[in-house]
Structure 1
Amino acid sequence: MCSAQDPAKRILVYTRNYTPNGKGYVHQNIASSVEAFRRIGARHTITVDTSDDPSVFTPGNLRRYDALVFSNSNNEAFATDAQREAFRAYIHQGHGFVAVHSASGSERDWPYFQQVLGGHFAFHPPEQSFTVTVTDPSFPITRSLPSTFPWTDECYFLDRLAPDLHILLTTQRNALSLGEKAQDAEQFPAALPLAWSHTFDNSREFYLALGHDSKDYQDPLFNGILERGLLWALWIDR
């Protein structure tokens, strides 16, 4: 937990799903994911605010937060270029950024957002069970995990990957049932990245591709990853 000497922390959990033509997929897990971060905040005396309103992205408002969490956001996260610039300035100032699951499909036409997140959603095969491998068991986010664990999810394929990603979780591409996506999948790494940390533009960023189902946010292993990822992004290494 945060010690008495640690300054109080505040985060914004952001969940906007928006497309002008109304065709974007909205995950049913959003409420569950928000509650998961509220529980994490309660354990560490971190104030958790939530919003799906892009008007929160002003320099004055963002100054209140130590980290932003894009939790299952999708498509257009922002409504104006001024909001995008407020986000860019916030990241440049060295604050934390956490993104979960479909957040990698946010701001699909803005390269800067993809650089911050570390990649971009390409596609996923049907939801299925697969084995997750921990690639760095000594890192703060993954150090308490088993070396491998079974999981059922939408296995995201991500492209436009940043060159300096610290890959934390992977699964074997050739072990997946890919169906009509088999040919498209050949261009992706054999060990598909499912979670990573990196630093970009002075900020710490953590992305977790897992978390499609609402029940995932009740899973102790999954919640432990979220918790340690948030603490790492807040520069609280445990």
Structure 2
Amino acid sequence: MSGILVFSRTTGYRHDSIPAGVRTMRELQGAVEATEDPAAFTPANLARFAAVVFLNTNGDVLTDTGRRAFEAYVRDGGGFLGVHSAAATEYGWPFYGELVGAWFDRHPDVQPATVVGADHEHPATAHLPAEWAWTDEWYDFRSRPAARVLLRVDESTYRGGGMGVSHPLAWCHERFGGRALYTALGHTTEAYAEPAFRAHLVGALNWVTRDGG
């Protein structure tokens, strides 16, 4: 397996930042194929990739055939990276809910807040300071992930948070055979030009593809 498949199909809300996200993935990774075609999710095609990125996907984006193929791919060791509204995807598919770690519930208006590093040993977060000023769309989730939490957001630094203390923002796990990492960051187009966020994505990709992490 080599390369990354970036999937950005939406059947609900569509983020304006998707084109910037796809460009960034190509710049960071090189060997990237980008698609919004659920027919790309076949066993033979997925076997070509070290990881699949759900980049601001939204709603039900796969067919039943694609769901079976993707689950088998992950259970066979394939990597998964979910970015931002990947958590607002496939609400009716229990496997995906466990893979992404937690489903999106609600968010206040886009505004600045303080991101707190929860794990400084992970390649996706080792470059970040203990506290990091960032502007994004701060997601509340329907549950807390059963996962290794990498970043949290300090609810005292913005208006409208609903998860209280220890509000998770990025996390990872290896429950299904492959590595899975989710980050709630990535709502704005401007985010994809920021060096700290780009390094966060590089570290995440390196970890899910087992390339030096």
TM-score (structure 2 length as normaliser) = 0.96
Matched position secondary structure for 2:53: strand
Q: Is the 8 A contact 2:52 2:79 kept in 1?
A: yes
Unmatched 5+ stretches in structure 1: 1-7, 19-23
Q: CA deviation at 1:36?
A: 0.8
Pick one of 50, 58, 64 that aligns with 2:48.
64
Matched letter for residue 237 of structure 1: G
Is 1:116 the counterpart of 2:91 in the alignment?
A: no
Is 1:93 the counterpart of 2:76 in the alignment?
A: yes
Matched letter for residue 228 of structure 1: G
Is 1:55 the counterpart of 2:39 in the alignment?
A: yes
For residues 176-201 of structure 1, the C-alpha deviation after alignment (integer angstroms, 9 at most, x for no partner) is 311xxx7xx2xx24121111111121
Pick one of 11, 20, 38 that aligns with 2:26.
38
Taking the aligned partners of 2:149 and 2:133, their CA distance within structure 1 comes to 18
Structure with bigger gyration radius: 1
Is 1:209 the counterpart of 2:184 in the alignment?
A: yes
Where do residues 69-148 of structure 1 align in structure 2 (5 Å cutoff)?
Answer: 69-78=53-62, 80-148=63-131
Q: CA deviation at 1:129?
A: 0.8
Matched letter for residue 143 of structure 2: R
Matched letter for residue 87 of structure 1: F
Where do residues 222-237 of structure 1 align in structure 2 (5 Å cutoff)?
Answer: 222-237=197-212
Where do residues 187-202 of structure 1 align in structure 2 (5 Å cutoff)?
Answer: 188-202=163-177
Taking the aligned partners of 1:67 and 1:26, their CA distance within structure 2 comes to 23
- Counterpart for residue 167 of structure 1: 149
| Aligned-residue identity in percent | 36
Matched letter for residue 29 of structure 1: S
Q: CA deviation at 1:122?
A: 0.6
Q: CA deviation at 1:132?
A: 0.4
- Counterpart for residue 176 of structure 1: 158
Taking the aligned partners of 1:38 and 1:234, their CA distance within structure 2 comes to 16
Q: Superposition RMSD on alpha carbons, in Å?
A: 1.3
Is 1:13 the counterpart of 2:6 in the alignment?
A: yes
Matched position secondary structure for 2:151: strand
Matched letter for residue 49 of structure 1: E
Q: CA deviation at 1:162?
A: 3.5
Matched position secondary structure for 2:3: strand
Matched letter for residue 40 of structure 2: V
List, as ranges, runs of 4+ consecutive aligned residues in structure 1 with deviation greater than 3 Å.
none
Matched position secondary structure for 1:203: coil
Taking the aligned partners of 1:59 and 1:210, their CA distance within structure 2 comes to 30
Matched letter for residue 174 of structure 2: T
Unmatched 5+ stretches in structure 2: none
